A and B are shown apart, each in its own frame.
Chain A
């Protein structure tokens, strides 16, 4: 007998309807009002101008060469977007210098960052497509939020 009992049928229909209603419920929100686990899936949906800005942490050596620091060093996470958000939230909350010092302490323990003398939190703006040209132009804007020495 392969016909569902009334109880099985109610269970299957209720779970299916509720699950689909929940998954589709973000349609009632603005696409940018994202959440988890019920998402509007806004990734890749916005028009992107070529000009972009990004906040990041860099290690600066004696010659002034700037090396972007990995998410693990800049925010103790493996996720680059999470590290970006950590930097943004810290700077917005006025905790840029404190975060800078934390990052500098991590830089001091990294063998491949031995040349870095200072850490800087900065926002840069540049043309994202031209960034990959053979001879890319530098950033339009470079704005420093915090600068601190690497304790050696």
Chain B
């Protein structure tokens, strides 16, 4: 086997089209529900207050906020193209358009002085899927067409989705080491963070976590949780090894459940587990289609 063939097996392994199609359907369905649920939040950024405008990412091209009506139209187009993306309609044209719109709208909502970290991975996964042949099956585009054979062209995007998820968690782990060093694993930082975040929530009139407040009397527990979370983050690249990726995904999901319980911070995309589905053979969700393919 040549070096290129070996590299191909890592970067773009042969995979069923149904795996990629299912990933598009899952991430796309998450997107439609999420964007609709967050519509009031998204629309709350139809603002003209230049003193609050701190553009980030592609929005840095702007000197001032967009006219509110223009922004509202972009949000509406983002929601509509999220639907076409989920259904697999005119994927080659509309999916990249959705990727651009989603990038713009989410960057815009983060351009008002506070950067949130809840949408980065969702956006990255959408962008990967929009640039891949993710609507060759399980889509309106593929209606009446035979199920494609497994192929390398369907393998690179799921691998890249796992790699990007791993990279984001690795970055979070590295940021902890760069900002606080190994002191993080002593647990004081995490304990103070949980206290700080919950107290701040109360003082900002928001919901807090009574469980997090209750556990503050158990400092050793925070040391164990800090060590575990840092190991999961720094060890994230191992998720690219398929057998490791699955337990890592489940553990990472558990980490987010812990954050929700202790700090009332909901990272919705990982909490729904959609962020981790690329670690699994998701085509198994459709046993009948798989059987037809095998026949």
**Chain A positions near chain B (C-beta within 8 angstroms):** 2-4, 8-9, 11-13, 15-16, 19-20, 23-24, 26-27, 31-32, 34-50, 52, 54, 56-57, 67-71, 73-74, 76-86, 88-90, 93, 95, 124, 126, 128-129, 131-132
Contact = CB atoms under 8 A, between A and B. Distances in A.
B114 A81 contact: yes
Nearest to B102: A37
A42 B192 contact: no
Contact of A24 (B110, B153, B167): B167
A38 B113 CA distance: 16
A45 B179 contact: yes
A48 B188 CA distance: 8
* Residue in B107, B188, B192 with the greatest tally of chain A CB atoms within 10 Å: B192
B97 interface: no
Contacts of B119: 36-37
Interface string B84-126: 0000000000000000000100110011111111011001100
Interface of B: 8, 11-12, 14, 40-41, 44, 51-52, 56-57, 103, 106-107, 110-117, 119-120, 123-124, 127-128, 131-132, 149-153, 156, 159-160, 163-164, 167-168, 171-172, 174-176, 178-180, 183-184, 188-193, 195-196, 198-206, 213, 216
Nearest to A36: B110
Interface class of chain B by DSSP: helix
Contacts of A13: 11-12
B152 A2 contact: yes
A39 B117 contact: yes
* Residue in B52, B115, B160, B189 with the greatest tally of chain A CB atoms within 10 Å: B115
A84 B124 contact: no
A73 B205 CA distance: 9
